[in-house]
Structure 1
Amino acid sequence: MDGHIAAKRDAARERLAARDGVLVAFSGGVDSSVVAALAHDALGEAAVACTAKSETLPDAELDDARQVAAEIGIRHEVVEFSELEDPNFVQNDDERCYHCRTMRLGAMYDHARSLGIDTVCDGTNASDPGEGHRPGLRAVAELDVLSPLLAHDVTKEEVREIARDYGLSVADKPAMACLSSRIPTGLEVTEERLTRVERAESLLREWGFEQFRVRDHDGLARIEVGEDELDAALDPAFVEAAREHCEAAGFDHVTLDLHGYATGSVSPAGEGAADEGAADDAETDSDGSDETDPVTNVFEAEYPSR
């Protein structure tokens, strides 16, 4: 590993070692996994990884978080709460990520106090603040969350390099934002919409797609995959499976976006990568960027509903 990156890693670990104990807001993405590994190295049993389970967290992501925590060897706990109890979150405006992160980190602090831990830390890295409108980061600052990667100027690519050095299986894992990021800004977040998105995305996971989203445009499923995976998405067998699976999940119509996967393709202009960029960490966030018309830039011929 490059000596400059190693020095940043060591400084972040020392910052954690100075605490009596820490609770890591842990999604199982690369950023929070690196913080968990550093915390475990620095504090041993005094470090706890904690995942917040709610309607916006896919079950598969919780399973992945458990697996990565086991790789690291860190104690892993799960707390449960519901964003859908907050009308500010449900209305899904451009501050949704702020409301989500405030609730999520609040649950983390409550659990930390129950364990006698004063410090909650997250995986915000030095690349995150420059990635557009990031209301979730305001919640991190307001709640005085410790962000060791940000404090020591560790960028996203450097985080991945540290993860590789630790041998973490998530070193090259794409960011995975919370399910609410699939719903266009202004369209209410409901359990029905979250459930059908999770069910639809389970198919893409089963078919081996690595970078994907199913955007829910009020009953229209817009499938996004990485540009290098578009050919696989046009396979007639997948076309038929996607149509049938998405309709069974509750969608009225199914489309494929020929522009491929893009962070934040359903949210306010100017958010760019927004909180999806940090989504793998601060406990799964959400994405941002231009809210698009439900049928703009999509390919429908292969995916007509029956």
Structure 2
Amino acid sequence: MTTLEAKLEAAREDLAAHDGALIAFSGGVDSSVVAALARDALGADAIACTASSETLPAAELEDAKRVADEIGIRHEIVSFSELESDAFVENDDERCYHCRTMRLGEMLETAREFGVETVCDGTNADDPGAGHRPGLRAVEELEVHSPLLAHGITKDEVREIAARYDLSVADKPSMACLSSRIPTGLAVTEARLDRVERAEVLLRQWGFDQFRVRDHDGLARIEVAPDELERALTHEFAETVREELSDLGFDHVTLDLHGYRTGSVSPAADD
């Protein structure tokens, strides 16, 4: 038995020891692997739950629905608004803590409604060492179970497990919530979230894979992966993106020559 197989067996046994589990499910690779393991271990007693709000792109919600169907797990969607929290809207360096507290609070409430005692998330073994992660404090405070972390499953191993399950998200780039595109200290508003989401839809339609559109109070700073930067450095792209993003309400449009970087507008490294 390989090390990864031993970790998988331990994670399944861990989940099987619970009467049921509700998985905080974004449709990303981490939560998808936890959902697949829970489905194996608990069958119909495993529930994937996605919290829908203004910070979740519509395309990500559709992806979550599709991946839950791939896994064959029951999928519930709950709606709430982070914008009802002044602490979240303020957008200080604890924003992710406030967000995760609210999201997991929705998970815990939904679990109680279904008579499920255990809520799981997709925190993996690499996350605690990945910089400023205030959201992890919310996971600990709310006593949410993280089977990937508990059994030492790293991000690379998560992707390998996803490939073993033939999940379409095995190679999916990381996707943080839309509020991570707004610099710390600048209020998170529905208008800013909306124009960022619409701008990123356009970047995706133009064929870019790993990118962000950062909203600096009306200035759009576009980051694309280094291996995609050459495609963005064309006169045609510059003209098109300037026109399209101006129509969305951005006053200025720039391309960041450093390329895509996590946490480039805040202390958090979750983007």
TM-score in same-fold range (> 0.5) = yes
> What displacement does 1:237 show?
2.9
What is the CA deviation profile of residues 103-141 of structure 1, one whole-angstrom value per residue up to 9, with x for unaligned ones? 000001111111111110000000000011111000000
Q: How does 1:30-41 map to 2 (within 5 A)?
A: 30-41=29-40
User: What secondary structure sits across from 1:14 in the alignment?
Assistant: helix
> What displacement does 1:236 show?
2.9
Q: How does 1:34-113 map to 2 (within 5 A)?
A: 34-113=33-112
For the aligned residues, what is the CA RMSD? 0.9
User: What secondary structure sits across from 1:78 in the alignment?
Assistant: strand
Q: How far apart are the structure 1 equivalents of 2:239 and 2:16? A: 53
Q: How far apart are the structure 2 equivalents of 1:239 and 1:67? A: 34
**2:63 corresponds to which letter in structure 1?**
D
Structure 2: runs of 5+ lacking an equivalent: none
Q: Which residue number in structure 2 is paired with residue 259 of structure 1? A: 258
The share of aligned pairs that are identical, in percent, is 74
User: What secondary structure sits across from 1:186 in the alignment?
Assistant: coil
1:184 aligns with 2:183: yes
Q: Which residue number in structure 1 is paired with residue 4 of structure 2? A: 5
User: What secondary structure sits across from 1:105 in the alignment?
Assistant: helix
The two structures have a TM-score, normalised by structure 1, of: 0.87
Q: How far apart are the structure 1 equivalents of 2:191 and 2:49? A: 26
Q: Which residue number in structure 2 is paired with residue 162 of structure 1? A: 161
> What displacement does 1:239 show?
2.1
**1:85 corresponds to which letter in structure 2?**
E
Q: How far apart are the structure 2 equivalents of 1:10 and 1:244? A: 53
Q: How far apart are the structure 1 equivalents of 2:19 and 2:122? A: 19
Q: How far apart are the structure 1 equivalents of 2:76 and 2:244? A: 33
User: What secondary structure sits across from 2:47 in the alignment?
Assistant: strand
Q: How does 1:1-306 map to 2 (within 5 A)?
A: 3-268=2-267, 271=268, 273=269, 276=270, 287=271
> What displacement does 1:101 show?
0.3
User: What secondary structure sits across from 1:94 in the alignment?
Assistant: coil
What is the CA deviation profile of residues 249-295 of structure 1, one whole-angstrom value per residue up to 9, with x for unaligned ones? 11001000001000000013xx4x2xx2xxxxxxxxxx3xxxxxxxx
**2:79 corresponds to which letter in structure 1?**
E
Q: How far apart are the structure 2 equivalents of 1:240 and 1:25? A: 41
The two structures have a TM-score, normalised by structure 2, of: 0.98
Structure 1: runs of 5+ lacking an equivalent: 277-286, 288-306
- Of residues 238-247 and 196-205 in structure 1, the stretch that sits farther from structure 2 once superposed is 238-247
> What displacement does 1:241 show?
2.2
Q: How far apart are the structure 1 equivalents of 2:137 and 2:112? A: 22
